[in-house]
Amino acid sequence: MGYQIQGNVAIVTGGSQGFGKEFTKLLLKKGAKVAFSDINVEVGRQTESDLQKEFGKENVIFVRADVTNDEDWTSLWDEAEMKLGAVAILVNNAGIGASLGWERNVDIMLKGVGKGTFLALDRMGKNMSGRIINIASIAGIASGFTSKIEVSGYTMAKHGVIGLTRSFPRARPAPFSKYGVKAYALCPWFADTQLLREEISDLSKIERSTKTRVLTVEEVGKSLLTALEKDKDGACYLIFPDVPLIDFPNCNENLFALSVAAGWILKKAGYEPDVIGWPVVLAVGALLLIIFYYIFAILKFMVW
């Protein structure tokens, strides 16, 4: 059935343009009221005027708010509640380019998301219901694509957002479940927005070097609705051209269990190297699979 959008109030950060504007529009189309925030006041006011013409002044407002500033967060939430009603959906979307330095990347795209999330838990928790959708990136799941340490602030921030999102179902029963709030993350591939164009003016360069087309804003927008429809706590969806959304498994968790199993088996076998490399871990994994396969086959034979 999914999470109900109709009649609910949403906050979308960084909503003046790009994904944030598209998310705002789609939520409005589905019958939500939206307060979108940004630090770009000029574009924000223009977007507000366009959206108010289409969806009505009573349904959408722009609030100038910097996601790195606690007071701005409080006044954004207060204004949204006062003008539109109790907020049930938060889209942590605001972002900047990797070239702007690791500290600003972390301040805006990790600490900013953290500030929004913990305020949301406080405010939404009073109603025991709410959803937080974090806009991460494929750079939050995999790293080292560019091999450039100068842009790793972007990766640091996005990895942190995935960690926060995955803490929601993990943290049950406390502290998150007591608030009745779920979180999920969207992890898009490169998409055609101002953010990307400011970093790389010729997008065909990316398409040529990665042999993959760049996503449209509409494709990323749609994935927000799919995520709310699935409503799976802690899910982290890869958004990649021409494939369905992929709820990316927590490989680290699975590999952790396998690595420990490999270490344990090798130690029991009297073999104790200083470090166990991944080929050994995978070999032990394959061995375990074969053993389980035969145990299962024998059990099946005995029961028959």
Ligand X SMILES: NC(=O)C1=CN([C@@H]2O[C@H](COP(=O)(O)OP(=O)(O)OC[C@H]3O[C@@H](n4cnc5c(N)ncnc54)[C@H](O)[C@@H]3O)[C@@H](O)[C@H]2O)C=CC1
73 vs 179, beta carbon nearer ligand X:
73
Candidates 168, 179, 190, 237: give the one binding ligand LB6NU4Q4 (CB under 6 A). Answer: 190
43 vs 276, beta carbon nearer ligand X:
43
76 vs 284, beta carbon nearer ligand X:
76
Q: Please list the residues that pair with 64 across neighbouring strands.
A: 38
CB count, 10 Å around CB of 78? 12
Q: Which of 3, 154, 184, 237 is catalytic?
A: 154
36 binds ligand LB6NU4Q4 (CB under 6 A): no
d(CA 51, CA 203): 28
Interacting stretch for ligand X, rule CB under 6 A, among 24-32, 92-100, 122-130, 259-267? 92-100
Tokens in use for 246?
Answer: 């992929």
10 binds ligand LB6NU4Q4 (CB under 6 A): no
- 84-118: buried (b, 16+ CB within 10 Å) or exposed (e) per residue? beebbbbbbbbbbbbeeebeebbbbbbebbebbbe
138 binds ligand LB6NU4Q4 (CB under 6 A): yes
Strands of the 9-13 sheet, one edge to the other: 60-64, 33-38, 9-13, 87-92, 130-135, 181-188, 236-239, 246-247
155 binds ligand X (CB under 6 A): no
Site for ligand X in 188-217 (CB under 6 A): 188, 190-191, 193-196
Residues in contact with 2: Cβ distance below 8 Å, sequence separation at least 6, in sequence order: 228, 229, 230, 231
Tokens in use for 45?
Answer: 């006011």
Residues in contact with 224: Cβ distance below 8 Å, sequence separation at least 6, in sequence order: 23, 26, 27, 91, 133, 186
Q: Is the dihedral of CA 120, 125, 127, 131 positive or negative?
A: positive
94 vs 132, beta carbon nearer ligand X:
94
48 binds ligand X (CB under 6 A): no
- Report what 68 binds from ligand LB6NU4Q4, ligand X, none; CB cut-off 5-8 Å by kind: ligand X
Reported residue count of the chain is: 304
94 binds ligand LB6NU4Q4 (CB under 6 A): no
Question: Using an 8 Å Cβ cutoff, are 28 and 55 in contact?
Answer: yes
Interacting stretch for ligand LB6NU4Q4, rule CB under 6 A, among 6-14, 139-147, 247-255, 269-277? 139-147
**How many residues line the site for ligand LB6NU4Q4 (CB under 6 A)?**
17
CB count, 10 Å around CB of 224? 26
**Nearest C-alpha neighbor of 130 from the set 184, 58, 60, 74:** 184
Instruction: Say whether 154 is catalytic.
Output: yes
73 binds ligand X (CB under 6 A): no
31 binds ligand LB6NU4Q4 (CB under 6 A): no
Question: Using an 8 Å Cβ cutoff, are 135 and 186 in contact?
Answer: yes
- Report what 135 binds from ligand X, ligand LB6NU4Q4, none; CB cut-off 5-8 Å by kind: ligand X
Residue nearest ligand LB6NU4Q4, CB atom distance: 137
CB of 98 to ligand X, least distance (A): 9
Candidates 106, 195, 245, 266: give the one binding ligand LB6NU4Q4 (CB under 6 A). Answer: 195
Active-site amino acid positions: 154
Binding residues (CB under 6 A) for ligand LB6NU4Q4: these are 97-98, 137-139, 143-146, 151, 154-155, 189-190, 195-196, 199
